[in-house]
């Protein structure tokens, strides 16, 4: 039996097709609504799966077209991330036979398809599919900077997450590691060729630059809607990452940042000396840089792709305070008062200090000078990295970056 799937997210179609072919269906897919309509007569599907939010033409119009011009009998299953009840009602009014809201498991999709096709005996049971594999409502890219993480990299946790959550892209940036980190990452990439990227920096460039390069690499994938970053040791876990993502989706925020605020019910484990230094640093940042947040340095943040170019276009001045620089760049681009309202701190439920942190006590002391540097570069000097041009900006080449660095030194 034939199934036509129309969705603007290629990663969703990839997993959906793999699942349905495994069960015995013949499947064609497209990310273009107009092309999907033209495929109706050439492919002649027995069932159509369609998303609502398709840029070229609304999924609702595709449903209407099928009912008015192609067939009143072919089953139509809507697969969408929207929770708008009016949209759901309209889909059924136009002629949809079923509506599944993402996140939704592949098993549930397969069961619903079989019901709509009157349980064809030629199709395998959904029980042959892996358990708990969910297609997500948004495609999310996550940068994980790695420097000598061979002993701390929790690949089994990453593996379990990717198996269960279809629609995430992980970009591991090997930051000039001298141990076996790169070999581990390359081996892991072979397991997840469609959802794992490995960027190899031959020399150590620091966390700030590693995150920046990873974010720009993910930005090249037009499917990705949100881009964030996590520490390789997963001191912030994926459950809290999803909490940040959910907040970003239901709000007007540009960025959602994890906050390690100690409160009842939360499991926040921080070493005494590091906790004291962190409080001092955050206090100085609030006073000097006018960044009114409780925890600027938490290594878990997620943002809408629209602001990634502004945040990461140029190399950062500082090694450890690039989070603060992101705030200053957005402030210069959109206005301080506007950005303060659209960057949200989300309290984490769990954060665990992991031994082997790359931030030494000496580095912690140098942060004081970096705060002063940020204030000087962004608030005092008339010239800076940030452009006033609101148009789309392409990431610069290595040669352009070197030239800009040279100009900066001359200035």
- pLDDT tens sequence across 86-121: 999 999 999 999 999 999 999 999 999 999 999 998
In this structure, are 144 and 119 located in the same domain? no
Over residues 313-329, the mean pLDDT reads 89
In this structure, are 26 and 68 located in the same domain? yes
Q: What is the pLDDT of residue 41?
A: 94
Q: What percent of the chain has pLDDT over 90?
A: 59
In this structure, are 302 and 256 located in the same domain? yes
DSSP 198: E
Residue 411 predicted with pLDDT over 60: no
**Minimal CA–CA distance to 44: which of 64, 26, 30, 65?**
26
The better pLDDT of the pair 343, 213 is held by 213
Q: What is the pLDDT of residue 219?
A: 96
The better pLDDT of the pair 274, 164 is held by 164
Q: What is the pLDDT of residue 271?
A: 59
Per-residue pLDDT of 384-404, as tens digits, reads: 444 443 333 333 333 334 333
Q: What percent of the chain has pLDDT over 70?
A: 84
Question: What is the rounded average pLDDT for all residues in the chain?
Answer: 85
Residue 340 predicted with pLDDT over 70: yes
In this structure, are 350 and 263 located in the same domain? yes
Q: What is the pLDDT of residue 5?
A: 97
Per-residue pLDDT of 248-303, as tens digits, reads: 998 889 999 888 766 655 666 655 555 666 677 777 777 777 777 777 777 789 99
Q: What is the pLDDT of residue 258?
A: 85
Q: Per-residue DSSP letters for 21-69?
A: HHHT-EEEEES-HHHHHHHHHHH--SEEEE-S--SSS-HHHHHHHIIII
State which residues form the domain around 280: 138-410
Is residue 359 very low, low, confident or very high in pLDDT (cuts 50, 70, 90)? low
Q: What is the pLDDT of residue 277?
A: 67
Q: What is the pLDDT of residue 221?
A: 94
Burial class of residue 22, CB neighbours in 10 A (0-12, 13-18, 19+): middle
Last residue of a domain, one of 77, 96, 128: 128
Please, are residues 323 and 297 in contact by the beta-carbon 8 Å criterion? yes
In this structure, are 123 and 179 located in the same domain? no
What global pTM score does this model have? Answer: 0.83
Last residue of a domain, one of 76, 96, 128: 128
Over residues 26-33, the mean pLDDT reads 96
Q: Would residue 190 count as lying in a domain?
A: yes
Per-residue pLDDT of 118-151, as tens digits, reads: 999 889 998 888 888 999 999 999 999 999 999 9
Per-residue pLDDT of 37-88, as tens digits, reads: 999 999 999 999 999 988 788 999 999 999 999 999 999 999 999 989 999 9
Q: How far apart are CA 184 and CA 213, in angstroms?
A: 20
Total structural domains within the chain: 2
Q: Would residue 133 count as lying in a domain?
A: no
CATH at residue 394: 3.90.550.10
Q: Per-residue DSSP letters for 178-194?
A: SSSHHHHHHHHHHH-TT
Half-sphere exposure for 32 (CA within 13 Å, toward CB): 4
Beta bridge partner(s), residue 98: 77
């Amino acid at each position: 039996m034939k199934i036509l799937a129309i969705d603007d997210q290629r990663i969703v179609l990839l997993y959906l097709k793999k699942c349905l072919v495994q069960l015995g269906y013949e499947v064609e897919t497209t990310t273009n609504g107009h092309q999907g309509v033209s495929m109706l007569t050439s492919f002649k599907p027995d069932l159509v799966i369609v998303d609502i939010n398709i840029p070229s033409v609304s999924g609702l119009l595709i449903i209407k077209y099928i009912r008015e011009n192609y067939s009143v009998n072919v089953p139509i299953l809507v697969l969408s991330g929207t929770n708008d009840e009016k949209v759901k009602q309209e889909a059924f009014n136009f002629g949809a036979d079923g509506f599944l809201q993402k996140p939704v498991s592949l098993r549930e999709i397969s069961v619903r398809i079989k019901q709509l096709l009157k349980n064809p005996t030629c199709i395998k049971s959904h029980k042959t599919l892996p358990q708990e594999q969910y297609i997500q409502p948004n495609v999310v890219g996550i940068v994980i900077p790695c420097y000598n993480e061979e002993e701390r990299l929790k690949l089994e946790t990453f593996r379990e997450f990717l198996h269960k959550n279809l629609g995430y892209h992980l970009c591991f940036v090997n930051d000039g590691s001298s141990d076996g980190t790169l070999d581990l990452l390359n081996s892991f990439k072979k397991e997840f060729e469609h959802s794992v990227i490995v960027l190899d920096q031959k020399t150590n460039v620091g966390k700030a630059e590693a995150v920046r390069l990873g974010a720009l690499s993910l930005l090249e994938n037009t499917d990705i809607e949100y881009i964030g970053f996590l520490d390789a040791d997963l001191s912030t876990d994926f459950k809290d990452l999803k909490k940040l993502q959910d907040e970003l989706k239901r709000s007007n925020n540009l960025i959602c940042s994890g906050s390690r605020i100690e409160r009842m019910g939360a499991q926040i484990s921080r070493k005494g000396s590091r906790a004291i230094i962190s409080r001092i640093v955050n206090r100085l940042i609030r006073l000097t840089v006018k960044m009114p947040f409780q925890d600027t340095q938490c290594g878990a943040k997620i943002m809408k792709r629209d602001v990634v170019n502004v945040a990461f276009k140029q190399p950062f001045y500082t090694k450890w305070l690039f989070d603060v620089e992101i705030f200053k760049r957005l402030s210069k681009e959109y206005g301080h008062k506007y950005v303060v309202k659209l960057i949200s701190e989300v309290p984490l439920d769990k954060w665990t200090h992991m031994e082997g942190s790359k931030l030494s006590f000496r580095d912690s002391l140098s942060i004081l000078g970096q705060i002063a540097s940020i204030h000087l570069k962004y608030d005092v000097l008339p010239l800076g990295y940030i452009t006033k041009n609101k148009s789309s900006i392409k990431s610069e080449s290595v040669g352009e970056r070197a030239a800009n660095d040279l100009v900066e030194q001359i200035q």
